[in-house]
Amino acid sequence: MKKENTFNLKNVVVSILSIVIIAFLVVFLGGGKDPGEAVEHRPVVSSFTVSPLVPEQVEFCSEEISLKRLDMRERFDRELTSFTYFHSTTLLYIKRANRFFPIIEPILKKNDIPDDFKYLCVIESNLDTRALSPAKAAGLWQFMESTGKNYGLTVNSLIDDRNDVIKSTDAAARHLKDLYDIFGDWSLAISAYNCGPGNVTKAITRSGGKKTFWEIYPYLPRETRNYLPAFIAVNYAMSYYKEHSICPIEPIVSQTTDTIHITKNIHFEQIIHFTGISKEELQNFNPQYLTDIIPGSYRTCSLTLPADRIKPLLEAGDSLYLFKKESYFSKSKLNYIEDSMNNRSNFITHKIKSGETLSTIARKYHTTVKDIMKWNNLTSDKIRAGKSLSIYLK
Element (H, E) at 391: strand 388-392
Kindly give, in sequence order, each residue whose CB lies less than 8 Å from that of residue 335, ignoring residues fewer than 6 positions away.
Answer: 375, 377
Burial zone of 365 (CB within 10 Å; 0-12 exposed, 13-18 middle, 19+ buried): middle
Report how far residue 187's alpha carbon sits from residue 213's, in angstroms, rounded to the nearest whole number. 6
Report how far residue 371's alpha carbon sits from residue 363's, in angstroms, rounded to the nearest whole number. 12
CB atoms under 10 Å from CB of 113, counted, come to: 25
Under a CB-based contact definition with an 8 Å cutoff, are residues 109 and 115 in contact?
A: yes
Under a CB-based contact definition with an 8 Å cutoff, are residues 155 and 145 in contact?
A: yes
> Is-catalytic flag, 124?
yes
- The active-site residue out of 124, 145, 223, 250 is 124
Single-letter amino acid code for the residue at 342: N
Q: How many CA atoms lie within 13 A of 202 on its CB side?
A: 10
Give the DSSP letter string of 93-124. Answer: HHHHHHHHHHHHHHHHHHTT--GGGGGHHHHH
Q: Which residues are catalytic?
A: 124
